[in-house]
Structure 1
Amino acid sequence: MAKGRQRRDEFEDVSSDSSKQAYRRNQKKKKKTGLKVFLGIFFSLLILIGGVLIYVSTFMLGGLKTTNITRNKEELGISEDTQSEAGITNIALFGVDARGDSETFTGRSDAIMVMSIDTIHNKVKLTSLMRDVRVYIGEECAYDTGYDKLNHAYMYGGPELAIRTINQNFGLDIQDYVTVNFAAMAEIVDAFGGVDIEVTDDEIYELNKNLRNLQGESPESLSGPMVEYTGSAGLAHLDGNQAVAYGRIRAIGNDNARVERQQEVLSALLGKVGSISKLEYPGIVSKLAPLCETSLSVDRIIGCAQIALTGFTIERLSIPGDEEGYDSDYCEGGGWMWTYDVEQAGRHVRRFIYEDDYKE
């Protein structure tokens, strides 16, 4: 009996070892299967993302002119204590006026804005900086004081110097830019099917006068045939040529009023983003890409563009304003410039951009 029990015990021990080994083998198989599934999903996502990026970079953004600027924050005028917030991206927007050549992105920046993409509050904020404000540019400036008009910074050192000038004067953290030539703006507006803007009788008169001047001076900058606006005052649907002529009105109001009209055009364009079908995006983007120059990479463009899929509101600010106590004077080189409290202007801009997150 003892031998029988011994044989049974030995048999049971072997079975126990076999079951443990089988269990271990099953666990290894499960781990391998799980790993294969994970790797399969992971590489599928990589292929999908890669395919999207290839499509975007090749077909949608293939004509976009991209440039490289320094990524050194100090060289861009961003100090260690500069206010910034995750979820808020500031991009400099420059408009140059090289009439007749939509592929030229040099010269003075006649339109200067900071576009803040705020995914925290689902807003796009436009801060317009008057082109004739007196700012410190630095040694690149033509004057020993280092001060000149803001729009001259782009002429002295291109977008990189213009970004540094904005950052160091207003305490911002801009690291990228987009430049559009006004000669291409009409095409951009037409790509969106025109814009709706409130106009007065006086603005209609000046708009049509500007159209005739454009026709005579640089007809190549027009997008299609020139058609004067014949409607009445009120909400007007403007085509690309008419919208550009509206944004160039100088005879009504001061430079601030002209900038506000430019803001109106850009705001109207941004407003169209939410109203058009998502299926139209690829065609519109492919039309717009060749008309712009930017330092933004494809993945950064995709990241910034995601707000268009969620819906957003638009807010606007012009600097300087009453809060900065602005005035005008003849300054360096006898040039006419806006003078104002620069530090207060910086606080005003940062409060507008960061809202309750801004720290005095």
Structure 2
Amino acid sequence: MAKRKQRRDEFQDISSYSSKQAYKKNQKKKKRTGLKVFLSFICVILVLVGGVMIYASTVLLGDLKTTTITKDKTELGISEETKSEAGITNIALFGVDARDYDGGTFAGRSDAIMVMSIDNVHHKVKLTSIMRDVRVYMGDGSPYDSGYDKLNHAYMYGGPEQAIRAINQNFGLDIQDYVTVNFAAMAKIVDAFGGVNIDLTEDEISEINKNMYALAAESPESMAGDVSTYAPLSAGDGVLLNGDEAVAYGRIRAIDNDNGRVERQQEVLSALLSKASSISKLEYPSIIQQLAPLCETSLTFDKMIGLAQIALTGFDIERLSIPSDVEGYASDYCEGGGWMWTYDTDVAAQHIHEFIYEDEN
């Protein structure tokens, strides 16, 4: 167990710093990390690697689902006072768990919510994770008289536009585009890279094996298959997980809590990033063709190319998780009886702005 703790400590999370001084002191220690953004954005980033850029954008990404959302800033919850800066682009990343194992469905609750900031001013890519169960104001977008509900319900109620509006309104951001991936398609993504190696404890193995049987019951043909042929895993270091097993691992919550679940998903996606960095560029076209149908985005091809040309120039990746000790948080119950995070979103907005824009004012 000590070894697992040591490995996880390699992923620097600035949300653990309770003061600006501690945050600044640790700036130089941040590591490059994959995180969930790899799952959400890989289908539009890999295409721009090497000399296949133009070919890939017109041929390999033919199955990428592109949509158009309103560009009216008021409708997206962007006010005149909203902070923005030339050279910094914020994009919403959503992971939906629609349990559609073909990966072509992009509806439902957004179980993963992130903001990807491509910062050409400070030469960084910044990832802000917002816990899905935070209580936020949605106004008419909420079914409750109070106008409040869980943030991840916004996507279910009104799709990406309402989800973007909820993020912008509650955290003072200027997001105008998004990328969504169906988490149920994660198995296909992992398999496209030949699986991932993860250190597993006995408790985790027990839960993986249970979840594999549950996956088989959900979709016998496309997931775990016939349970009678499934060979249970054993605990150990660097255990190779196929796509189905990685999904089962990422769903574990019984042995700790939702934060533990998020941490395990981050480990899977960081392992994927390691795989992606080690494969030959000649393998990219095949992988892109497999992954493109699993993603939906409002980004145009021209914008994808422009942003990726910036993001692929060796930028460091930094991350922030909200809520943190800075915001303070407590549990509460919504009108529907569900559990939610509650904290000062104004403080969170300031925290996020300092992280994205590196401006204490």
Fold-level similarity (TM above 0.5): yes
RMSD: 2.5
Q: Provide the residue aligned with 1:210 in structure 2.
A: 211
Structure 2 counterpart of 1:182: 183
2:262 is the alignment partner of 1:259: yes
In the TM superposition, residue 271 of structure 1 has moved relative to its aligned partner by: 4.1
Distance 1:97 1:204 in 2: 22
The one-letter code of the counterpart of 1:316 is R
Q: CA deviation at 1:168?
A: 1.0
Aligned match for 1:243, one of 241, 246, 261: 246
Q: Map 1:37-48 to 2 at 5 A.
A: none
1:78 corresponding residue in structure 2: 78
Q: Specify whether residues 307 and 264 from structure 1 end up closer, same or farther in structure 2 by C-alpha distance, changes over 3 A only.
A: farther
Match of 2:156 in 1: 155
CA separation in 1, counterparts of 2:241 and 2:86? 37
CA separation in 1, counterparts of 2:313 and 2:54?
Answer: 24
For 2:225 and 2:194, how far apart are their aligned partners in 1?
Answer: 13
Structure 1 pair 135–273 and aligned structure 2 pair: CA distance change class (3 A): same
Alignment-derived partner of residue 26 in structure 1: none
1:317 deviates by 2.6
Task: Show the counterpart of 1:4.
Answer: none
Which of 302, 306, 316 is the aligned partner of 2:305? 302
1:46 aligns with none
Which letter maps to 1:283? Answer: S
Matched, 1:92 2:92: yes
Question: What is the TM-score normalised by the length of structure 2?
Answer: 0.77
Return the match for 2:294 from 287, 291, 295: 291
Q: Residue 109 of structure 2 corresponds to which residue in structure 1?
A: 108
Bigger relative contact order, structure 1 or 2, given CA contacts below 8 A and separation 6+?
A: 2
Aligned partner letter, 2:210: K
How big is each residue's C-alpha offset from its partner over 1:193-224, in whole Å with a ceiling of 9 and x where there is no partner? Answer: 32333433322221222112101222345288
Which whole-Å CA distance do the structure 1 matches of 2:197 and 2:343 have between them?
34
User: Aligned letter for 1:64?
Assistant: L
What amino acid does structure 2 have at the position aligned with 1:67? T
The CA distance in 1 between the partners of 2:187 and 2:317, in whole Å, is: 22
Distance 1:225 1:305 in 2: 41
Task: Kindly indicate whether the alpha-carbon contact (under 8 Å) linking 2:193 and 2:272 is maintained by their aligned counterparts in 1.
Answer: yes
Q: Secondary structure at the match of 2:163?
A: helix
Amino acid at match of 1:97: D
Find the residue that maps to 2:136 and give its secondary structure: strand
Q: 1:134 to 1:109 in 2, by over 3 A?
A: same
Cα distance in 2 for partners of 1:69, 1:143 equals: 25
1:143 paired residue number = 144
Residues 219 and 225, structure 2, Cα contact 8 Å, conserved in 1: no
More helix by share: 1
Query: Residues 122 and 222 of structure 1: is their aligned pair in 2 closer, same or farther, counting only changes over 3 Å?
Result: farther
What is the DSSP-based 3-state SS (H/G/I as helix, E as strand, rest coil) of the residue aligned with 1:169?
helix
1:281 to 265, 284, 306: 284
**Partners of 1:90 and 1:175 within 8 A in 2:** yes
Q: CA deviation at 1:78?
A: 1.7
Q: 1:248-304 CA distances to partner (integer Å, 9 max, x unpaired)?
A: 111122222222222333333344443333333222222111111111111122223
CA offset at residue 118 of structure 1? 3.2
* Pairs aligned (count): 308
CA contact (8 A) 2:216 2:224 kept: no
Does the aligned pair in 1 maintain the 2:202–2:234 contact within 8 Å?
no
SS at match of 1:61: helix
Mapping 1:7-46, distance limit 5 Å: none
* 1:170 matched residue in structure 2: 171
Residue 200 of structure 1 is matched in structure 2 by: 201
Q: Which residue of 1 aligns with 2:64?
A: 64
Equivalent position amino acid for 2:71 in 1: R
Cα separation, 2, equivalents of 1:85 and 1:228 = 53
Q: What TM-score do you get using the length of structure 1 for normalisation?
A: 0.77
* 2:104 aligned partner, one-letter code: E
By how many angstroms is 1:329 displaced? 1.2
**Is the 8 Å Cα contact of residues 94 and 112 (structure 2) preserved in structure 1?**
yes
Percent identical among aligned pairs is: 71
Question: Which stretch has the larger CA shift, 146-155 or 216-225?
Answer: 216-225
Is residue 129 of structure 1 aligned with residue 130 of structure 2? yes
Return closer, same or farther for 1:345/1:253 CA change in 2, 3 Å cut-off. Answer: farther
Q: Which runs of 5+ in 1 are unaligned?
A: 1-50
Q: Which amino acid aligns with 2:278?
A: S
- SS of the aligned residue for 2:179 comes to strand
**Separation in 2 of the partners of 1:220 and 1:277?**
31
Structure 2: distance between partners of 1:123 and 1:206: 37
* SS of equivalent to 1:323: coil
Cα gap change, 1:278/1:120 in structure 2, threshold over 3 Å: closer, same or farther? farther
Distance across 2 between alignment mates of 1:237 and 1:117: 32
Is the 8 Å Cα contact of residues 133 and 150 (structure 1) preserved in structure 2? yes
